[in-house]
Structure 1
Amino acid sequence: MKPIKKAVFPVAGMGTRFLPATKVMPKELFPIVDRPLLQYAVDEALEAGIEQMIFVNGRGKGMIEDHFDMAYELERTMADRDKDGSALDGTRLKPGDCVFVRQQEPLGLGHAIWCARDIVGDEPFAIFLPDEFMVGSPGCMKQMADAYDKLGGNLVCALEIPMEDTPSYGVIDPGYRDGAITEVKGLVEKPAAGTAPSNLIVPGRYILQPEVMRILETQEAGAGGEIQLTDAMAQMIGQQPFHGMTFDGKRYDCGSKQGYVEANLALALAHPEIGSDIREIATKLLAEG
């Protein structure tokens, strides 16, 4: 069983729910207090032992490449002024450990993952959806990697949500449960209201075997007229071990305005430097409201 050393980050989306903020700036670089969403995801990958980050990028999103590049003028100026440059740690990966490929058309998550097929090669790999912001210690992918070392096969993060919210997500049809581990008997992408097999969703973290790329090669469009990763994964069930792991931590849906604001407030309140000030500000605003 090969270890997980590669991760795919599909970051080609247009972020239309956050317009006009995303007209120039990618949603993935929106800050949670003082670090971009995407940086948190990369830090999570590094903690899990992943070495190569594969970004499936889109037109007009060059800022993402710049974020993980050298910022010579900034770094030189900070050094000359004896300023601490540790805030930039993690923004420059080792040469060759940061790879960009282009998704030329918005054909769905499954298509975005397939665009990375030649870099993934014949190895198992992780997938991160950066706007699914996962906060925990250890991180979500570290928890998943530890479970994968015991289970092998395919592993997805699992999360319980209210049943009425399931039409917006990929939903697990569960089998046996053993603590945080649930057997995955099936997957349904965005089920119609009242038809979901459970309230256990897949919130944006995956460890998959490379065979999924061969399925995506000929995958037809599914829900929403897009090539769905969930449909391809469903075909692997029964052919390879497939499990869900319930994440021990907190998830924020930063693809929505409410979730993004909640994440900022939660991390600001927990921040060692500004937490007490933010609590005072929030209390005052609530009293005034």
Structure 2
Amino acid sequence: MRLFDILLKYKGGMSMSGVRKCIFPVAGLGTRFLPVTKEIPKEMLPLIDRPIIHYGVDEAVASGCSQIIFITGRGKRALEDYFDRSYELEQLLKERNKEDLYRLITSISTLADFAYVRQPEPLGLGHAILCAEPFCNEPFGVILTDDVMISDKPVLKQLIDVREKFGGSVIALERVPHEETERYGIVDATPYSDNVYRINDLVEKPKKEKAPSDFAIMGRYVLSPSIFSHIRNISMGEGGEYQLTDALKSLAQEEPIWGVVYEGERLDCGTKVSWFRSTIRRGLQDPELKDVALEILRDENIIK
């Protein structure tokens, strides 16, 4: 593996959490959103008042993580700029006495310590996580930003708590319609405690007749650093990529992997349709926007 374009930006203090680091694989090209993603990273698409990526970083920080590692690719400079200082904008806001906006903008760059690592080739989620190996010699989180999680207790923190109680690695689970199993990684799992399951096996995007259950892996993980050796030893899988699911399947033979049926609401932002639906749902949850959304629906004779 060859790493390059590593840029460290130290911006915060150390966390006392058992999981201090969180990886964000964001090197994807976002082809489902073309042409807008020709120049704008899909992670920077807005969900009401902030880009999608900001929700994930907020979740990681609220879960106790103080170090954020972005696995990036070409065309992701806007993402790096967003989490950096913007001195010209800050100065303008101060001159115009917009103190609330000034504090909001300056707070973004101090959310955590940020590091950026280039993924040289689009070789899959497993390979993207392997690119972060030099940074992670301890358990770490992984957040996939296509899913924005809305919950009282951050979903990543729910996984961290299970890790601290039982050890091993932990993945987020959600029950999905059986006919949709080929869209997800699916687990074979045994109930263990409350909403916690012991993972026996994992299958990447199985046909419904071959799916071992209807528990799908969602985009939150807490992983042992042992995962890196298993990623290096797997073969290239579906789509010519190194699948994290295959590495987890191997890891499960060495140490326990737990699945947590998380508590919260998932806003899928991975496609134009799901992003639009999530935007409407999020808008209806916003006191300032709900009446506007309902007014538009009435004007279009969609509701009375």
Match of 1:12 among 19, 27, 48: 27
Residue 92 (structure 1) aligns with: 109
Match of 2:219 among 204, 207, 213: 204
1:67 aligns with 2:82: yes
Residue 151 (structure 2) aligns with: 136
CA distance in 2, matches of 1:240, 1:286: 56
Match of 1:78 among 84, 93, 102: 93
Residue 244 (structure 2) aligns with: 229
CA distance in 2, matches of 1:51, 1:187: 30
- Is the contact made by 1:43 and 1:90 (CA closer than 8 Å) also made in structure 2? no
Equivalent positions of 1:1-289 (< 5 A) are 3-83=18-98, 84-85=100-101, 86-88=103-105, 90-93=107-110, 97-120=113-136, 122-287=137-302
Q: Give the CA deviation at 1:6.
A: 0.4
Cα deviation, 1:199-254, whole Å, max 9, x if unaligned, reads 10111100000010111123211122210001001111132121111111111221
C-alpha RMSD of matched pairs (Å): 1.7
CA distance in 2, matches of 1:287, 1:281: 9
Say which is worse superposed, 13-22 or 215-224, in terms of deviation.
Answer: 215-224
CA distance in 2, matches of 1:235, 1:4: 23
3-state DSSP of counterpart to 1:204: strand
CA shift in 2, pair 1:127/1:245, >3 Å: same
TM-score using structure 2 length: 0.90
CA distance in 1, matches of 2:221, 2:18: 14
3-state DSSP of counterpart to 2:70: strand
CA distance in 1, matches of 2:233, 2:282: 42
3-state DSSP of counterpart to 2:108: coil
Say which is worse superposed, 213-222 or 275-284, in terms of deviation.
Answer: 275-284
Say which is worse superposed, 161-170 or 214-223, in terms of deviation.
Answer: 214-223
CA distance in 2, matches of 1:191, 1:89: 45
CA shift in 2, pair 1:268/1:195, >3 Å: same
Letter in 2 for 1:92: S
CA distance in 2, matches of 1:267, 1:32: 8
3-state DSSP of counterpart to 1:198: coil
Say which is worse superposed, 48-57 or 211-220, in terms of deviation.
Answer: 211-220
Cα deviation, 1:28-64, whole Å, max 9, x if unaligned, reads 0111001111000000000000010000000111111
CA distance in 1, matches of 2:202, 2:132: 23
Q: Give the CA deviation at 1:141.
A: 1.0
Letter in 1 for 2:147: E
Q: What stretches of structure 2 of length at least 5 have no aligned partner? A: 1-16
Say which is worse superposed, 216-225 or 129-138, in terms of deviation.
Answer: 216-225
Query: In the comparison of the two structures, how many residue pairs are matched?
Result: 286
Letter in 2 for 1:61: K
Cα deviation, 1:119-140, whole Å, max 9, x if unaligned, reads 11x2010000001111111221
Q: Give the CA deviation at 1:257.
A: 1.5
Letter in 1 for 2:123: L
CA shift in 2, pair 1:18/1:68, >3 Å: same
CA distance in 1, matches of 2:152, 2:265: 10
CA distance in 1, matches of 2:247, 2:23: 16
User: Identity rate of aligned residues, in percent?
Assistant: 40
3-state DSSP of counterpart to 1:39: helix
CA shift in 2, pair 1:162/1:4, >3 Å: same
CA distance in 2, matches of 1:178, 1:244: 10
CA distance in 1, matches of 2:244, 2:78: 26
CA distance in 2, matches of 1:115, 1:261: 32
Letter in 2 for 1:113: I
